[in-house]
Structure formats: structure tokens, C-alpha cells
């Protein structure tokens, strides 16, 4: 009972700031000093639904980039997490620091050094380039989360599976991945969320040619039309909330300590 | 039950393995032959390299020197999953996301055995390890002994030719351990799989195994039937590991053993320097002087419930004698100790004489 009250307070606390956004998004005419808009308007909703609209294509771009970044960050970060979590080796602290450096150093600083390479290899102004640069802030998180999971993983399970006739890929599929499922779900959520809300890296590498939702939001927010800005903002906020809710429901009950993304 | 494939002879030849960070080799020129269908205990103190040896047979490790042969084929180039082996570890390692039945059927699933056949063989196996109807339970609902039985069933279900067990019962309490030994013996006899069982428990090795391979310092010290370790130890170290407390250095000359105790009659002894090995329970306290009896003073008598351990000092040598608890042996008494020639062994001194000329 007390628990559900706590959760309720939390949900209200998190969601309240979105109420004005919601109101803005549907407002037509709204003058000082009235508390609520005088007229409602569907302009915001239309903007999102209109076929061929900038916002829809931004949504698709954001989802594409986010999905690609998630897959690649898992593919790159999980083996690194395995190495850090399972084995102790010389220079481990240094490797750990280097892997985490992008999460510590501001992305902008990293980027100014690497942008020249993106230009040289024709990756600037392309979705591929944006995906690649989003790996900089995401891989460290994937590595951290999976390293923690691997530190609690008994490789005896893998040896046992091999001695029962499982080939390495079968071991991965039937033993290792199921054991790491909660951590991988959390790591994937992190990767997607970071990519989803990334702005600076996208602007610099995408060069305006890759229009993700955060970029569109920025453009609309600078314009005069707050209704449109609020509508895009809601669109930007909703998927992460849904994602976190979905993931946290599917996590096993006792995985709360896993970087705080426990079941709600 | 499906007919099991013929058990395989296993031959380990001159295996050497040194771990990268370690100075001393973990396995140092180890050779061992396992007859098909037998249960061999690989016995040794912790750190002697017995688990490493098991992993070499399994293919989890690759030796730097030597060969592992199943039958007449070398399996060195074969990865673990393609060797006809199954292994049970010290920890049960049941996959937590699978039911008991799916755990047992894991190896069959990896080999793409059809579901209905899998189901039947899993049920047969669970019956064999005396857990009928446990297929739908979750691994975490089982007790420690049940977990290890499921692990055994899971290993046996694929009809391995070679079964490897790495101290599988050492985390169970004593009573359960005995039951599990009986069960393993039963299963192993039923299936007739060539089995290598690692243990540090001398009693477990003797009770369970057809033959015992004693491993010390990375190599096999002695390999033979359990009885041989008590009656005919081949080295001083083997004798000592099996509790032969009385080991006296000397020399065999003309069929008699000359040492600090005097001249003793011995049987089947090789001429030259050696050690007389006598277990405390074969020595007898005796009154008068007779053949092979030495005179000494009782310096200690420790009551052990079913026996008394008596220490008799003869000159500079201490002999340990086990007597029934009803016998009264006051400390300080002069007694004779009879050393029966047929129950003692003389171990010839080794060329490098690892044990030195000293006495024990």
C-alpha cells in the first residue's frame, strides 16, 4: 500500500512538468492572463500526422539511428564488458579508463578531434556518420553495464554447455545471452536513450542533413510557434518513457540493483 | 534405454601444462591409462594438478606437450563439444533459466534430437538418478544432492564414452555423499562408461573406484587397485599419503633389511637401499622377544574411540602402533613391537632419493 503511494507520487512528480507541454500542444489562441487557452487547435496533431511532414521523417530518422546505434553499441560494448568483468589482466585499470573516457570527457571535445576524419572518409552529413559518432557516448555505458553483469557470471556454465555438446554459437545463444538478458536489456535501453536525445554530435556530424527529432525541436523552439514546439517535444519525450516502462516491467524482480533500472 | 556405445579406452601420454602466470608446471609429464568401462579415481591433495588433468581430457585446456587419446585416436585437435565426453563439475551448474527436464535434455537439444525422443530419454535418465517426475521443476527448487543428481543425468543423457567428474560430491554433507557414491556406482555400472573421478578424499577414492591413480606434484605417483596402496605402496610418498605412518630408511642385503631398528626379515624386497613401510594397524605389541620384534618405550597413547594410537620409541625411531581400545598401554612401559614381514613393504630408494637418507 505504502509502496503504491510512493510509486504514485513518483509518477505524478515525473509527469507534472509535461502538463503545460500538453496544454501548449493543443492550444490555438492563448493570451495573458488566462489560465487556460481560449481556443483549442489541432495544428500540433496535424503536424505530426501529415504525410510527408518534416516531423514524421525526423521521427523515422531518430528511430533508425537509435536502433542502429543500439545494435552496434551492444556488439562493440558487450565483448569489452566481458573482458573487463571476467578477467583480470595487466593494464586493466587503464583500459577501463580509456573505455569510459568518452563518458567523462564532454562529447564535443572528443568530436572536434575526430571530425576531420569523418570529413575525410565521407562520413560527415550522413546517417552512417551520425550512427558512428553516437557510439562514442553509448559504448561506455554498454560496457559498464555488461561488465557488471559478467562479473557476476560463472563461466563454468559455458564450459558445462560445451561439454554437453554445444558449439560456441550455441553456447552464446542458449546459455550466455539468457543469463545476461536483464543486463543487455538495460544496456540497450541506455544506448537507445542516449542516441535518441543526442543533439550536439548529431548537429556537427550530420551537418543539418540528418534531421533527428532533437534537431527539429530546437528549430521549432527558436521559432514563434510554441504549439508546434510543444507537439514535437511531446513526441520526443513519449518513446523513452514508454521504453523505460516496457523494459522495467520485463526485468526480473531481483535486478533492481542493476544500475537502478529495477521494476517499477 | 538406448544401447550405450562401447566405452572408450583413454590414454594420457606425457602431458605437460604450465599456466602462463605460474612458474611450476601444473601437470608435469603425466601418463595414465584408463581401461574401457572402468571407474578410475584421480586422487591427490589440492593443487596437485588433478582438475587441470581433467580439463585436458575434456579439451577445456590444451597440453603444451603430450597426447590425449581415446581408443586409438588422438583428440588433441578436437574441441570439447565434439569429444565424446561429458563432465560433472563441483558446482551443479544447472542452467537457471531452464526447467530440470530441459537441463537434462540440453545436450540432446544441442545435437538436434527430436523433441519426443528427447523427452523419453530425459525421463529415462531422471528415473536412473532416482528423480522420476522432476522434469517440470525449476533448478532452484532442488536440494544440493538433487541438483548434483540432475547434473549427473544431464551428463549421461548424451551417452558419452568418457565421463569426467570433478569432485562432484565435495560440497554435500557426509551422509549424502555416501548415497551419491552408491548412486554413481550404480549408474556407472549400468551404463559402463569409462569414468575418471577427481577427488582429494582417500576414502572416497578407495570405496568408489576400480583403480586409483594417485597424483602428486603434477604426475602420477602410483596407479593400481585401491588395495595396492595399502598393501604394496610403490613410493614413500604414496605410502605416506595413504597413512602408512611408519617409514624407516635402511638397506636390503641378503633378504634382510638393515636399519636403525636392527636387522629385520622382509619379503620380496629388492636388494639395495630402500625404505621399510609399515602401517600402524599391522604392527603388534608383544611381550617376549621373538623374530622381527624390537624393544622400545611407550611415549604416547592417544585414545581414538575405536582404537588407541600408541607411539613406541625405539632408539631414535618412533613407531606408531594401533591397538584395540581394550588394551592398556601405560606411558613409559617397555614393550616389544612385532613387525610382521609379510605385512610390510620395502620401497626401493629412488635414483635421486627424493626423501633423503633421513628417517620418519
pLDDT single digits (tens) B334-346: 999 999 888 888 9
Q: Choosing among A89, A153, A163, which should be mutated to test the B contact, i.e. which has the most B CBs within 10 A?
A: A163
Residues B334, B336: Cα–Cα separation, whole Å: 7
φ, ψ for residue A134, nearest 5 deg:
-70, -20
Tell me if B60 and A159 make a contact (CB, 8 A cut-off): yes
- Which among A164, A55, A199 has a CA at the least distance from the CA of B107? A164
Chain B: closest CA distance from residue A167 (Å): 6
pLDDT at position A43 over 80:
no
Q: Read off the pLDDT of each residue in B280-305 and give the average, rounded to a whole number.
A: 87
Per 3-state DSSP, what percentage of chain A is helix, strand, and coil (rounded to 5)?
Answer: 75, 0, 25
pLDDT of residue A100: 78
Tell me if A178 and B95 make a contact (CB, 8 A cut-off): yes
Which of B34 and A106 is assigned the larger pLDDT? B34
Q: On the CB side of A177, how many CA atoms lie within 13 Å of its CA? A: 9
Locate A15 and state its grid cell. Answer: 509527469
- Which among A235, A197, A209 has a CA at the least distance from the CA of A47? A235
Q: SS in 3 state form for chain A? A: CHHHHHHHHHHHHHHCCHHHHHHHHHECCCCCCCCCCCCECCHHHHHHHCCCCHHHHHHHHHHHHHHHHHHHHHHHHHHHHHHHHHCCCCCHHHHHHHHHHHHHCCHHHHHHHHHHHHHHCCCCCCHHHHHHHHHHHHHHHHHHHHHHHHHCCCCHHHHHHHCCCCCHHHHHHHHHHHHHHHHHHHHHHHHHHHHHHCCHHHHHHHCCCCCCHHHHHHHHHHCCCHHHHHHHHHHHHHHHHHHHHHHHHHCCHHHCCCCCCCCC
pLDDT of residue B51: 92
Q: Mean pLDDT across chain A, nearest whole number?
A: 83
Tell me if A167 and B81 make a contact (CB, 8 A cut-off): yes
- CB contacts of A162 in chain B (<8 Å) are 60, 79-81
Tell me if A164 and B154 make a contact (CB, 8 A cut-off): yes
Residues B236-265 have pLDDT tens digits of 999 999 988 899 999 998 888 988 888 888
A187-191, A235-239, B74-78, B105-109: segment of lowest average pLDDT: A235-239
Q: Choosing among B21, B95, B105, B166, which should be mutated to test the A contact, i.e. which has the most A CBs within 10 A?
A: B95
pLDDT of residue B5: 65
Domain-embedded: residue A261? no
- Cα B80 to the center of its chain, rounded Å: 24
In which domain, by residue range, is A210 found?
2-8+53-255
Residues A21, A221: Cα–Cα separation, whole Å: 12
pLDDT at position A52 over 50:
yes
| Position A51 confidence tier, pLDDT thresholds 50, 70, 90 | low
pLDDT of residue A259: 44
Tell me if A160 and B87 make a contact (CB, 8 A cut-off): yes
Q: Read off the pLDDT of each residue in A59-83 and give the average, rounded to a whole number.
A: 93
pLDDT at position B78 over 80:
yes
Instruction: Find the helix or strand (DSSP H, E) in which B217 lies.
Output: none
Q: Can you name the residues that pair with B252 across neighbouring β-strands?
A: B257, B272
pLDDT at position A258 over 70:
no
- CB contacts of A157 in chain B (<8 Å) are 93, 95
Q: Which residue of A has its CA nearest to B151?
A: A160
A11-15, A250-254, B44-48: segment of lowest average pLDDT: A250-254
As for how many domains chain A has, the answer is: 1
Q: Choosing among B83, B97, B138, B154, which should be mutated to test the A contact, i.e. which has the most A CBs within 10 A?
A: B97
- Which among B243, B261, B240 has a CA at the least distance from the CA of B341? B261
- Which among B136, B139, B141, B140 has a CA at the least distance from the CA of B122? B136
| Position A62 confidence tier, pLDDT thresholds 50, 70, 90 | very high
Residues B180-226 have pLDDT tens digits of 899 899 889 888 899 999 999 998 999 999 999 999 989 899 999 99
A35-49, A226-240, B91-105, B283-297: segment of lowest average pLDDT: A35-49
Q: Read off the pLDDT of each residue in A71-98 and give the average, rounded to a whole number.
A: 89
Interface of A to B at Cβ within 8 Å reads 154, 156-157, 159-167, 170, 174-175, 178-179
Chain A: closest CA distance from residue B60 (Å): 7
Tell me if A157 and B95 make a contact (CB, 8 A cut-off): yes
Domain-embedded: residue A208? yes
Identify the sign of the CA torsion B295, B296, B298, B302.
negative
Residues B238, B245: Cα–Cα separation, whole Å: 11
pLDDT of residue B276: 92
- Which among A190, A202, A188, A186 has a CA at the least distance from the CA of A132? A202
Chain B: closest CA distance from residue A240 (Å): 29
Which of A224 and B224 is assigned the larger pLDDT? B224
Tell me if A164 and B85 make a contact (CB, 8 A cut-off): no
Topology (CATH level 3) of domain B245-347: OB fold (Dihydrolipoamide Acetyltransferase, E2P) (2.40.50)
| Domain residue ranges of chain B, discontinuous segments joined by + | 10-230, 245-347
- CB contacts of A253 in chain B (<8 Å) are none
Q: Are strands B246-253 and B272-278 parallel, antiparallel or unpaired?
A: antiparallel
Instruction: Find the helix or strand (DSSP H, E) in which B321 lies.
Output: strand B317-323
Interface of B to A at Cβ within 8 Å reads 58, 60, 79-82, 85-87, 89, 91, 93, 95-97, 106-107, 109-111, 154-155, 158, 164
pLDDT at position A138 over 50:
yes
Instruction: Tally A–B CB contacts below 8 A.
Output: 60
CATH number assigned to the domain covering B10-230: 3.40.50.300
Cβ-based neighbours of B65, under 8 Å, separated by 6 or more: B14, B15, B16, B29
Q: Can you name the residues that pair with B27 across neighbouring β-strands?
A: B17
Locate B176 and state its grid cell. Answer: 549424502
| Position B67 confidence tier, pLDDT thresholds 50, 70, 90 | very high
Domain-embedded: residue A31? no
Locate A220 and state its grid cell. Answer: 521549432
| Position A244 confidence tier, pLDDT thresholds 50, 70, 90 | confident
Q: Read off the pLDDT of each residue in B147-161 and give the average, rounded to a whole number.
A: 92
Tell me if B106 and A174 make a contact (CB, 8 A cut-off): yes
Chain B: closest CA distance from residue A153 (Å): 11
Give burial (CB, 10 Å; 0-12/13-18/19+) of A43: middle
DSSP state for residue B78 in the 8-state scheme: S
Q: Mean pLDDT across chain B, nearest whole number?
A: 89
pLDDT at position A201 over 50:
yes
Q: Read off the pLDDT of each residue in B86-106 and give the average, rounded to a whole number.
A: 93
pLDDT at position A74 over 60:
yes
Tell me if A164 and B106 make a contact (CB, 8 A cut-off): yes
> What is the percentage of chain B residues whose pLDDT exceeds 70?
95
pLDDT of residue A1: 57
- CB contacts of B93 in chain A (<8 Å) are 154, 156-157, 160
Domain-embedded: residue A94? yes
B76-85, B173-182, B222-231, B314-323: segment of lowest average pLDDT: B173-182
For residue A100, the domain's CATH number is 1.10.3720.10
| Position A210 confidence tier, pLDDT thresholds 50, 70, 90 | confident
Tell me if B110 and A175 make a contact (CB, 8 A cut-off): no
> What is the percentage of chain A residues whose pLDDT exceeds 90?
29
| Position A257 confidence tier, pLDDT thresholds 50, 70, 90 | very low
| Position A256 confidence tier, pLDDT thresholds 50, 70, 90 | very low
Q: Read off the pLDDT of each residue in B12-25 and give the average, rounded to a whole number.
A: 88
pLDDT of residue A19: 81
- CB contacts of A156 in chain B (<8 Å) are 89, 91, 93
- CB contacts of A164 in chain B (<8 Å) are 81, 86, 106-107, 110, 154-155, 158
Amino acid at each position: 500500500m505504502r509502496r503504491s503511494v510512493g510509486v504514485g507520487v513518483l509518477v505524478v512528480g515525473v509527469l507534472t512538468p509535461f502538463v503545460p507541454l500538453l496544454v501548449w500542444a493543443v492550444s490555438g489562441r492563448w493570451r495573458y492572463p488566462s489560465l487556460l487557452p481560449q481556443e483549442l487547435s489541432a495544428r500540433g496533431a496535424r503536424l505530426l500526422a501529415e504525410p510527408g511532414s518534416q516531423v514524421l521523417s525526423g521521427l523515422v530518422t531518430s528511430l533508425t539511428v537509435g536502433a542502429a546505434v543500439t545494435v552496434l553499441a551492444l556488439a562493440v560494448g558487450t565483448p569489452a564488458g566481458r573482458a573487463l568483468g571476467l578477467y583480470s589482466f595487466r593494464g586493466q585499470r587503464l583500459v577501463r579508463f580509456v573505455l569510459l573516457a568518452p563518458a567523462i570527457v564532454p562529447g564535443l571535445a572528443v568530436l572536434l578531434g575526430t571530425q576531420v576524419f569523418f570529413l575525410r572518409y565521407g562520413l560527415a552529413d550522413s546517417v552512417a556518420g551520425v550512427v558512428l559518432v553516437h557510439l562514442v557516448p553509448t559504448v561506455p555505458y554498454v560496457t559498464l553495464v555488461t561488465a557488471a553483469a559478467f562479473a557476476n557470471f560463472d563461466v563454468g556454465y559455458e564450459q558445462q554447455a560445451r561439454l554437453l555438446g554445444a558449439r560456441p554459437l550455441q553456447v552464446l545463444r542458449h546459455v550466455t545471452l539468457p543469463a545476461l538478458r536483464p543486463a543487455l536489456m538495460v544496456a540497450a535501453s541506455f544506448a537507445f536513450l542516449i542516441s535518441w536525445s543526442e543533439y550536439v554530435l548529431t548537429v556537427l556530424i550530420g551537418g543539418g542533413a540528418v534531421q533527428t527529432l532533437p534537431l527539429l525541436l530546437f528549430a521549432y523552439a527558436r521559432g514563434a510557434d510554441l504549439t508546434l514546439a510543444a507537439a514535437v517535444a511531446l513526441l520526443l519525450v513519449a518513446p523513452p518513457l514508454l521504453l523505460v516502462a516496457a523494459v522495467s516491467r520485463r526485468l526480473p524482480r531481483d535486478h533492481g540493483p542493476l544500475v537502478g533500472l529495477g521494476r517499477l | 534405454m538406448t544401447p550405450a556405445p562401447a566405452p572408450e579406452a583413454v590414454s594420457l601420454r606425457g602431458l605437460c601444462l604450465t599456466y602462463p602466470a605460474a612458474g611450476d608446471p601444473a601437470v608435469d609429464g603425466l601418463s595414465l591409462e584408463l581401461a574401457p568401462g572402468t571407474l578410475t579415481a584421480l586422487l591427490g591433495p589440492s593443487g596437485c594438478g588433478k582438475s587441470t588433468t581433467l580439463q585436458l581430457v575434456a579439451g577445456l585446456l590444451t597440453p603444451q606437450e603430450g597426447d590425449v587419446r581415446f581408443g586409438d585416436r588422438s583428440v588433441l585437435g578436437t574441441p570439447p563439444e565434439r569429444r565424446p565426453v561429458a563432465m560433472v563439475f563441483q558446482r551443479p551448474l544447472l542452467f537457471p533459466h531452464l526447467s530440470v527436464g530441459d537441463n537434462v535434455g540440453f545436450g540432446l537439444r544441442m545435437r538436434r534430437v527430436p523433441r519426443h525422443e528427447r523427452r523419453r530419454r530425459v525421463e529415462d535418465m531422471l528415473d536412473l538418478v532416482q528423480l522420476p517426475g522432476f522434469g517440470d521443476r525449476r533448478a532452484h527448487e532442488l536440494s544440493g544432492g538433487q541438483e548434483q543428481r540432475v547434473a549427473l543425468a544431464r551428463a549421461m543423457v548424451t551417452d558419452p564414452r568418457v565421463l569426467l567428474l570433478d569432485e562432484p560430491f565435495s560440497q554435500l554433507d557426509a551422509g549424502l555423499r555416501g548415497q551419491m557414491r552408491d548412486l554413481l556406482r550404480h549408474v556407472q555400472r549400468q551404463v559402463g562408461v569409462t569414468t575418471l573421478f577427481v577427488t582429494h578424499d582417500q576414502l572416497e577414492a578407495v570405496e568408489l573406484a576400480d583403480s586409483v591413480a594417485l597424483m602428486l606434484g603434477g604426475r602420477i605417483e602410483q596407479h593400481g587397485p585401491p588395495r595396492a596402496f595399502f598393501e604394496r605402496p610403490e613410493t614413500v610418498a604414496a605410502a605416506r599419503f595413504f597413512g602408512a605412518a611408519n617409514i624407516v630408511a635402511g638397506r636390503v642385503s641378503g633378504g634382510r633389511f638393515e636399519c636403525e631398528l636392527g636387522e629385520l626379515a622382509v619379503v620380496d624386497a629388492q636388494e639395495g637401499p630402500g625404505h621399510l613401510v609399515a602401517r600402524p594397524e599391522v604392527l603388534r605389541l608383544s611381550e617376549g622377544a621373538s623374530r622381527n620384534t624390537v624393544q622400545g618405550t611407550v611415549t604416547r597413547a592417544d585414545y581414538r574411540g575405536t582404537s588407541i594410537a600408541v607411539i613406541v620409541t625405539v632408539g631414535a625411531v618412533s613407531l606408531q602402533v594401533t591397538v584395540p581400545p581394550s588394551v592398556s598401554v601405560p606411558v613409559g612401559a617397555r614393550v616389544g613391537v612385532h613387525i610382521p614381514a609379510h605385512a610390510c613393504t620395502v620401497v626401493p630408494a629412488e635414483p635421486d632419493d627424493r626423501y633423503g637418507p633421513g628417517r620418519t
